[in-house]
């Protein structure tokens, strides 16, 4: 549902850990205060986030979809259901106009909920994916769960049917 009465559009952006965090920070540093920001994360956000050029926003914490050290095949169904539930609660509370995910597996439940609620979903593949697609990217592309799937290398367009290249974010 579009915002009216001068309300800012709401963006729900994943801010996961590791390299995906830094790629997302680089992307967000190009944004301004025209939007109302909400951040989906699996760990506490650093207090220095504003100093990194990231617009101020509200933090929403969920469990990680993929957990290192756990037998993947045995727990994948339970982990996916838990993530769908947790991310769904956040998406319904925030009611975003657009969701954005960079590289993280949290993109799957996030894009599922965006599709269910008729919201736009954008996925940016990690800059490390040049010749081999990620499982997250393959799932999102195959199930057509995102409105835009962006790669960060021109040659990476061949990895997905619907990939777009608009440059890299680092």
Q: Give the list of residues 6+ apart from residue 129 with CB closer than 8 angstroms, or none.
A: 103, 137, 151, 152, 156, 159
- Answer for the pair 110, 99: CB distance below 8 angstroms, yes or no: yes
pLDDT in tens, 20-45: 889 999 999 999 889 999 999 988 88
Q: Which domains does the chain have, with CATH numbers?
A: 9-165 (3.40.50.2000)
Confidence of residue 160 (pLDDT cuts 50, 70, 90): very high
- pLDDT of 138 > 60? The answer is yes
* Phi and psi torsions of 151, nearest 5°: -110, 160
Confidence of residue 49 (pLDDT cuts 50, 70, 90): confident
What secondary structure letter does DSSP report for 55?
A: P
Average pLDDT of the chain to the nearest whole number = 88
pLDDT in tens, 58-68: 999 998 766 54
Rg (CA), the chain: 15
* Phi and psi torsions of 142, nearest 5°: -65, -40
- pLDDT of 3 > 80? The answer is no
- Answer for the pair 124, 103: CB distance below 8 angstroms, yes or no: yes
- pLDDT of 89 > 80? The answer is yes
pTM of this prediction exceeds 0.85: yes
- Which of 112, 60, 111 lies closest to 90 in space, CA to CA? 60
């Amino acid at each position: 549902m579009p915002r009216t009465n001068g309300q800012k559009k709401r963006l729900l952006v994943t801010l996961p850990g590791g390299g995906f965090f830094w790629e997302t920070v680089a992307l967000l540093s190009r944004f301004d205060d025209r939007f109302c920001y909400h951040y989906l994360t699996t760990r506490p956000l650093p207090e220095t986030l504003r100093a990194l050029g990231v617009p101020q926003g509200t933090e929403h914490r969920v469990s990680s979809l993929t957990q290192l050290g756990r037998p993947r095949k045995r727990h994948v169904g339970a982990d996916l259901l838990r993530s769908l539930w947790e991310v769904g609660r956040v998406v319904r509370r925030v009611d975003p106009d657009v969701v954005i995910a960079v590289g993280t597996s949290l993109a799957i439940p996030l894009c599922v909920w965006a599709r269910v609620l008729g919201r736009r979903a954008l996925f940016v593949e990690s800059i490390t994916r040049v010749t081999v697609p990620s499982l997250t990217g393959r799932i999102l592309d195959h199930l057509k769960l995102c409105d835009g799937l962006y790669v960060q290398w021109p040659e990476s367009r061949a990895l997905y049917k619907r990939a777009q290249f608009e440059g890299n974010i680092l």
